[in-house]
Structure 1
Amino acid sequence: MDTIEWIDATAMGDVPADDVIGILVAGRDIALYNAGGEIFATDNICTHGHARLCEGFLEGHEIECPLHQGRFDVRSGQPSCAPVTEALRSYPVRIEGGRVLLALD
């Protein structure tokens, strides 16, 4: 039976409402999004150009890359407009005791 290893990433309060932050978790650059009170996590580097998504603009469930204005759905990592075509890796999130936990593998 597989067991998921949950890694404590940050406090829920560290992710501002309707915004995105970048954090380093277990050596990975992760973007955490607070979209409508729900937390989502993806890789922080755009798949199209080497830009940090935490420097982009979060609108609803979409993050806009600051470099070429491509957009991704933060819930799934799927691209939602050109020029991005490759999905971001997204990660399961769990909230426990006010902490954001991630499953990275």
Structure 2
Amino acid sequence: MSEPVRVCSVDELPAGVGAAVAEIEGRRVTIARDSAGRIHAFDDTCTHANVSLAEGEVDGGLIECWLHGSQFDMTTGEPKQLPATQPIAVHTVSVADDGSVYVTLAA
């Protein structure tokens, strides 16, 4: 497992209305806040169409790919809506006392 990397502050992630992207160890990672305020990090690329998930919509605990409508559970990475059938990698998120968001890449 990698070391935690600061990617943004909590204030930069309004709940349920978008996502940020960070480059961590050569991987593009999307950081999004669901409608309940939980912060998630996952690989930025849709497993169906190879496009950025950060440009998609957050709907509850799901991120929807803007191109074909595939949806992924932001906690597990599992696809919840076709055409995607392969999961996305999810990463560990921690929030420091000062509101900094850190991501640790999954293996």
The TM-score normalised by the length of structure 1 is 0.90
RMSD of aligned residue pairs (Cα, Å): 1.5
1:99 corresponds in structure 2 to: 100
User: 1: distance between equivalents of 2:39 and 2:65?
Assistant: 19
1:40 corresponds in structure 2 to: 40
Give the CA deviation at 1:28. 2.0
Conserved 8 A contact 2:31-2:40:
yes
User: 1: distance between equivalents of 2:31 and 2:57?
Assistant: 13
- 1:14 equivalent to 2:15? Answer no
Q: Secondary structure at the match of 2:28?
A: strand
Task: Name the amino acid aligned to 1:85.
Answer: T
Task: Name the amino acid aligned to 1:19.
Answer: V
2:75 corresponds in structure 1 to: 75
Gaps of 5+ in 2: none
Give aligned-pair identity as a percent.
30
- 1:63 equivalent to 2:83? Answer no
User: 1: distance between equivalents of 2:2 and 2:57?
Assistant: 31
Count matched residues.
103
The TM-score normalised by the length of structure 2 is 0.88
User: 1: distance between equivalents of 2:79 and 2:38?
Assistant: 20
User: 2: distance between equivalents of 1:4 and 1:28?
Assistant: 12
Gaps of 5+ in 1: none
Conserved 8 A contact 1:22-1:44:
no
User: 1: distance between equivalents of 2:105 and 2:17?
Assistant: 21
Runs of at least 4 residues off by over 6 Å:
none
